[in-house]
Chains A and B, each alone.
Chain A
């Protein structure tokens, strides 16, 4: 534990009792934890549903142990939606991260065009995903949509066909959320210390060398934070998919949360839906754990390269 109250240069800093020093971080964290702890109760209830056969419109609710889990794990539809969810999350996050970092770097050059457009970088984020879904669905429509018109695709090209729907949805997600990544990374890049770069330039290092050896390691923590948030949210994707295709055609875009929604809200099968969602939560939890470990290592490296 770093102790910031030692004497330095012979002068005595105001001291704080060691006990208080030790508890300080915990005390500072208490309010945040308290506020969020409330969600545990409904969450546990939700988990409780997964062990029942609770269908809201039928009585006779009782404990069925792992019955729901058995049913879900042996359902090919479940594995299908796992595959679709993972495909979506990985591709979308990768796309948004790469694009976001590139945009951040380009904007960091402070070129004229960059300065003009930086102000509107955030605009797509201002449109709620639900609304963005509606707008894009209109643009995709083969009969009157603007995209078929501009790109001369005629009235027979369907962006949301069985083969294309998932990719079109990924494109919409990237449209909304790439700015999120770009903003986080840009703010991070802008706060990097100039010293190491100036020193390297003096030593005659080229741009690419400086990027790879200095900038990227220092940027990694910021990039990873963005990746963590995007990947978690992409695993849980619902709004855009549901507005555009309701998980169809057939099951082509049925992500886990879409299936959970259909189960709980439409079919009243709260237990079934909760099972899907709890499994989804576990997937997200485990993946996040790995990503955060990565973040820890990245931060250590970044601190190292700064020194």
Chain B
């Protein structure tokens, strides 16, 4: 990876190359500025949150309040508990989606069986349902089944968010997979299942990484389901609790909570980043 890879046909240090760098830089300034601003906001005192721009006296007080619930404001938000429960729910949801979704994506990508297209489409269509439409019936059902405010219930409902992503992203990868590799394994005497796990699965690692990460993020950021179907909500709900009430606004606390709340997905992203970035060379396989 050290050797600089070019886009085919590209030359170094030309005007287009520099223009490209400027463009990418411009995007990242736009992309990162609000985040930097949010971190700054997280370091401001209540009196300074809307009265200062870049010059202010930073304090870590907001992070203390958010994490220890020891501050005087909004002491009943148990952020740490929210972090734990959200992590469990979202990781669980992603794992379930992978375990169940990979075979489905493989089936649909590998074999164009009859009904595969409409099955795939219907799997996707569950994502179309506006959350608000199902939220009241879902609430009643969950209450009746005893799934309200349970991990199982949350993992199940989050499948609406995670499964379509996993299946659809991976289907593309499985479709691109050349058969020769699996064929070779089969010829060597391995069962289809071994061929799959030994050969196909490792090759689609970037796809698994990308879909798992994106599915986790979307599950983590989901607001409506945890709000209605649990008592204390998720991290995202907890962050909005810090906004305040009664005419008082604590944007600084919200920003601090937002920063802390973005850490688990960030950690996940950094952990599996190398799988995302890995380039593959199918070309090596083709005869």
Q: A151 contacts the other chain (Cβ, under 8 Å)?
A: no
Q: Is B65 an interface residue (CB 8 A)?
A: no
CB distance from A78 to the nearest CB of B (A): 15
B128 near A284 (CB under 8 angstroms)? yes
Interface readout for B148-183 with A: 1 if CB under 8 Å, 0 if not? 000000001001100101011100110110010011
Bound CA–CA A289/B122 (angstroms): 10
Q: Which A residues are in CB contact (< 8 Å) with B123?
A: 32-33, 36
Q: A130-B240, A187-B210 are in contact. Are A29 and B169 (CB under 8 A)?
A: no
Q: Which of A4, A139, A197, A277 contacts B8 (CB 8 A)?
A: A197
The contact string, 1 if C-beta is below 8 Å from chain B, for chain A 92-131, is 0000000100110111111101100111111111111111
A229 at the interface (CB under 8 A from B): yes
**Which residue, A26, A33, A46, A131, has most C-beta atoms of chain B within 10 A?**
A131
> Closest Cβ of chain B: how far from A274's Cβ, in Å?
6
B124 to A29, Cβ gap below 8 A? Answer: no
Tell me the smallest distance from the CB of B70 to a CB of chain A, in Å.
23
| Given known contacts A14-B186, A128-B239, A239-B223, A29 and B130 CB-to-CB distance under 8 angstroms | no
CA distance A196 to B108 in the complex (A): 26
A195 and B285 CA atoms in complex are apart in Å by 10
Complex contact B251–A257 (CB within 8 A):
no
Give A144 to B44 CA distance when docked, in angstroms: 14
A5 and B186 in contact (CB under 8 A), knowing A190-B278, A225-B168? yes
Question: A126 and B132: CB pair below 8 A?
Answer: no
| B129: interface (CB < 8 Å) | yes
Residue of A nearest to B4 (CB): A110
Tell me the complex Cα distance, A28–B220, Å: 27
Interface size class of B (residues with CB under 8 A): 35 or more
Residues on the B chain within 8 Å of A299, using CB = 172, 175
Question: Are B183 and A39 in touch, CB under 8 angstroms?
Answer: no
List A contacts of B223 (CB < 8 A): 128-130, 239
* B239 lies within 8 A of A26 (CB): no
- The minimal Cβ–Cβ distance linking B121 to chain A, given in whole angstroms, is 6
Query: B187, A13: Cβ atoms under 8 Å?
Result: yes
- Chain A residue numbers with a CB within 8 Å of B173 are 191
Say yes or no for B35: interface residue by CB 8 A criterion.
Answer: yes
- Asked if residues B7 and A108 are in contact (CB atoms below 8 Å), the reply is yes
Assess whether B9 is in contact with A277, with CB atoms less than 8 Å apart.
no
Bound complex: CA A191 to CA B23 (Å): 24
- How far does the alpha carbon of A278 sit from the alpha carbon of B176 in the complex, in Å? 36
Interfacial chain B residues near A36, Cβ < 8 Å: 123, 126, 159-160, 163
B243 in contact with A257 (CB, 8 Å): no
B residues less than 8 Å from A42 (CB atoms): 134, 137-138, 141
Known A126-B265, A131-B254; contact A99-B27, beta-carbon cutoff 8 A: yes
Instruction: Give CA–CA (A121, B38) in the complex, Å.
Output: 17
User: Would you call B133 and A25 a contact (CB within 8 A)?
Assistant: no
B25 at the interface (CB under 8 A from A): yes
Known contacts A2-B111, A183-B210, A188-B172, A123 near B165 by CB under 8 Å: no
Contacts of B125 in A (CB 8 A): 285, 288
A214 to B283, CA, bound (A): 14
The closest CB in chain A to the CB of B210 belongs to: A187
Stretch binding the partner chain, chosen from A57-65, A244-252, A259-267: A259-267
Q: How far is the CA of A127 from the CA of B218 in the complex (A)?
A: 10
Residues of A within 8 A of B106 (CB): 28
16 A-B residue pairs with CB within 8 Å: A1-B113, A35-B100, A110-B4, A126-B217, A126-B266, A130-B223, A175-B30, A178-B27, A191-B206, A193-B281, A194-B281, A197-B9, A207-B9, A228-B124, A277-B130, A288-B125
